[in-house]
Amino acid sequence: MRARRVVVTGGAGFLGSHLCERLFREGAEVVCLDNFLTGSPRNVEHLAGPDAFRLVECDLTDPVHVPGEVDVVFHLASAASPVDYLRHPVETLRAGSLGTMHALDLARLKGARFVLASTSEVYGDPLEHPQREGYWGNVNPVGPRSVYDEAKRFSESLTTAYRGSYGTDTAIVRIFNTYGPRMRPCDGRAVPTFVSQALRGEPITVAGNGGQTRSLCYVDDTVEGILALARGEFAGPVNIGNPTELTVLALAETVRHLVGSESPIRFVGRPLDDPEVRRPDVSLAASVLGWRPRVEVIEGLRRTIAWFTRELSESGELIPR
């Protein structure tokens, strides 16, 4: 990827900003496209240099034009947390349909490789465990989560159609739960919610009885997996995630311990269609891409907690200790 020109849609979001940063540091010229619905210019403000990094505010539901050559288009533009896509259901569906089509059109016009950031949510509430790429999923097409799940499933289908019909060089990565610095405290996902609650001394809210499981991948590992797919010719789909599985309750207790908090655990209602289990089979990524996650969950949580501590300290939101 060194010294190439790339486009990252949704590049001002949590994961997108880390991908932009990594590409920038490797010497690539990066064009970041974002409408700031859930992302923020603050996430990429440290990537200075008008020639090496460009931040362009635009909405991919309209056709997009990027002057000059483009080698790779990374399509990450979408709301990704339940709080966001339930608040913006139509926008999420438009990003997955029109947004994906316009990003694919850009890649096709430029003769660029196209990398779609899909999600483990295409597996829905899985009946197969762990989830491998050949599993077709168990998704409720009219449930509240369907606006995200089905948008990504459609985007995978559209990406596959462009590859088959137009010969576009495409690849699909199915990203499992990713966490790390730059997540928003109000994101709604487990890690930022538990960390911010523990740091503030608030009750840690665990959905249901906390017995449902998740597999957490630190953001640096996720970015490395995305780049490994972009560097080659493999079309995917391929799972990128950490197969270390833990219950949501165990995650809450681990965060509380690492923070050194006395916050009580409070059990709250569980969202409709919330997946019971989630764990990737990453054997395909290991064999085809030579990729495996490296950052242990405890170490990744320590790094994330340190970042949240700084952020909340600067905003005056931490409780006195």
Instruction: List per-residue pLDDT tens for the chain, 321 residues long.
Output: 554 999 999 999 999 999 999 999 999 999 999 999 999 999 999 997 667 999 999 999 999 999 999 999 999 999 988 889 989 999 999 999 999 999 999 999 999 999 999 999 999 999 999 999 999 999 999 998 999 999 999 999 999 999 999 999 999 999 999 999 999 988 889 999 999 999 999 999 999 999 999 999 999 999 999 999 999 999 999 999 999 999 999 999 999 999 999 999 999 999 888 899 999 999 999 999 999 999 999 999 999 999 999 998 876 666 544
Which residues carry out catalysis?
A: 148
CA distance to 28, 165, 263, 308, 319, per residue, from 158 (Å): 27, 10, 46, 37, 48
Please tell me the pTM assigned to this model: 0.94
Coil, helix or strand for 178? strand
- Quick count: other Cβ atoms within 10 Å of Cβ 79? 24
CATH class of the region 5-179+218-240: alpha beta
Helix-helix angle 100-110:146-166, to 10 degrees: 20
Asked if 118 and 155 touch (Cβ cutoff 8 Å), the reply is yes
Q: What are the boundaries of each domain within the chain? A: 5-179+218-240
Where are the strands (E) in 19-145, listed by range?
A: 29-34, 53-57, 72-75, 113-119
